[in-house]
Structure 1
Amino acid sequence: MIRVLIADDQELVRAGLRMILEAQPDIEVVADVGDGAAATREAMHLRPDVALLDIQMPGGDGIAAARQILANPRLDTRVVMLTTFDLDEYLYAAMAAGASGFLLKSSPRAHLLHAIRTATSGDALLDPVLTRRLIETYVKRPVAPSDATATLTAREREVLVELVRGRSNAAIGARLYLAETTVKTHVAAILRKLGLRDRLQAVIYGYEHGIIHPGDTTQPPD
């Protein structure tokens, strides 16, 4: 069972999120609170698997709460951020804080559920709209040279390209004729060798270092 803490300053939003999540057989909402300070306090007390945090709240915003939750060595809580606004400063602040997901409140419920389950599995997920914005931002920047990929095997470099394109382990396996468990092993090795925290950082790394470029794909991500 995935234990989730909800933090949003709007009661109706909290109620709606609780209703969506509690309709899932594998998700339990352990608490819902209305501000960042309460979110931090309840996370320390309840130790949820995922904290679903609104960005803008009184009593300390969601990003401040995320920083405190993720910096606590006693917690193994993943953080997914929710916001009405797709402003770049929120996106980068959430990533810097270590959030495992960043979703617009206008996202379909399926994206929300997928983000929570993805975070629990140790991966990261970014709303597709925000992914495009992130890519567009990096396209405008000069490519930073890196020798780090020299430590990767030829197969790991192939997996990295597909990973940066946003494909799941199953989709990567299908394209490269690998078992999904083998892909997972390669992904773990890639993250370790490149010093990356999760798949989201791998995507950013790929565009920063010119591993692939926008449009460098034969089909949309699976």
Structure 2
Amino acid sequence: MGDSVTVILIDDHEVVREGVRAFLSTRDDIDVVGEADGETTGVALAAGVTPDVALVDLIMGDGDGVTTTRRIRQVSPRTQVVVLTSFDDRNWVIPALRAGALSYVLKDVDGTELADVVRRAAIGEAVLHPRVAGHVVRRLRHEATEPSIADLTERELEVLRIIAQGANNAQIAAELVVSEKTVKGHVSNVLAKLQVEDRTQAAVFAWRTGVVHEPR
């Protein structure tokens, strides 16, 4: 089946993976070539098999789908990422798309539609759930093209302030009394929402916009 669309599944719920695999495997033109239960194993799998499409959940035990998407696109640029999740909140949608996701669909999608999404992703065609598309349209219409601290949640703003003080993830985790994995997800969202490449640029943004006062 050389012309088959190759797909990997990344979701920490085994029952979800089993269900998706069972359905997609009934399609002669789709070949599920691997599964992973989290970010680390998922990125390694993508690097190893370089599939046409990766179906990625957003919330996983060892990471988040935004970071996973970004890393997959780095290790396997040919792989199109389709976010398959239960969450349509704009705080997830925009960062996921900025991280490189091509399509964003919800888990209430039926099997036939999902198979079509996979086929379309393989040829570079995007599909957005209607509610997700609504977030994108509103973003384009009502929000300034320049990033704004208004895009950040209260916790992400806290993380930005601490980043601007030069703290690393372990120090941020200690100050906020959360895990480093949680901090990693917040930092990824901050970078994506502010449209910056690294922590230094995020710190400069914080100083420039008055979130914190630039050190002398």
Q: TM-score range by the shorter chain?
A: 0.5 to 0.7
Quick one: which amino acid aligns to residue 2 of structure 1?
A: V
Conserved 8 A contact 2:94-2:136: no
TM-score (normalised: structure 2): 0.62
Aligned length: 143
Q: Identical aligned pairs, as a percentage? A: 32
Q: Secondary structure at the match of 1:9?
A: coil
Structure 1: which amino acid aligns with 2:130? P
Check the 8 A contact 1:111/1:127 in 2, yes or no: no
In the alignment, the residues of structure 2 paired with residue 107 and residue 138 of structure 1 have an alpha-carbon distance, to the nearest angstrom, of 25
Q: Partners in 2 of 1:57 and 1:77 — Cα distance? A: 20
Alignment partner of 1:81 is 2:90:
no
Q: Is it true that 1:59 corresponds to 2:43 in the alignment?
A: no
Structure 1: segments with no counterpart, 5+ residues: 145-222
Deviation at 1:56, TM superposition (A): 0.5
* Aligned residue in 1 for 2:163: none
| Residue 48 of structure 2: aligned partner | 45
1:134 is aligned, of 129, 133, 136, to: 136
TM-score (normalizing by structure 1): 0.60
**Distance between the aligned counterparts of 2:19 and 2:56, measured in 1?**
14
Q: Quickly say closer, same or farther: Cα 1:89–1:143, change in 2 above 3 A.
A: closer
Q: State the one-letter code of the partner of 1:27.
A: I
Give the partner amino acid of 2:95. Answer: A
RMSD, aligned α-carbons: 1.8
- Which amino acid in structure 2 is aligned with residue 103 of structure 1? V
Residues 86 and 107 in structure 2, CA contact (< 8 A), matched pair in contact too: yes
Which of the residues 90, 94, 97 maps onto 2:96? 94
Give distance in 1, aligned partners of 2:40 and 2:21: 20
Map 1:158-173 → 2, pairs under 5 A: none
Preserved contact between residue 86 and residue 130 of structure 1 (Cα < 8 Å):
yes
Q: How far is the alpha carbon of 1:143 from its aligned partner?
A: 8.9
What's the CA shift string for 1:123-168, capped at 9, x where partnerless?
Answer: 2111122112322343434699xxxxxxxxxxxxxxxxxxxxxxxx
C-alpha distance in 1 between matches for 2:14 and 2:81: 20
1:21 alignment counterpart: 24
Given candidates 30, 33, 36, the residue that maps to 1:30 is 33
**In 1, Cα distance between the equivalents of 2:144 and 2:48?**
45
Deviation, 1:53, is: 0.5
Aligned to 1:120: 122
Q: Where in structure 2 are there 5+ consecutive unaligned residues?
A: 147-216
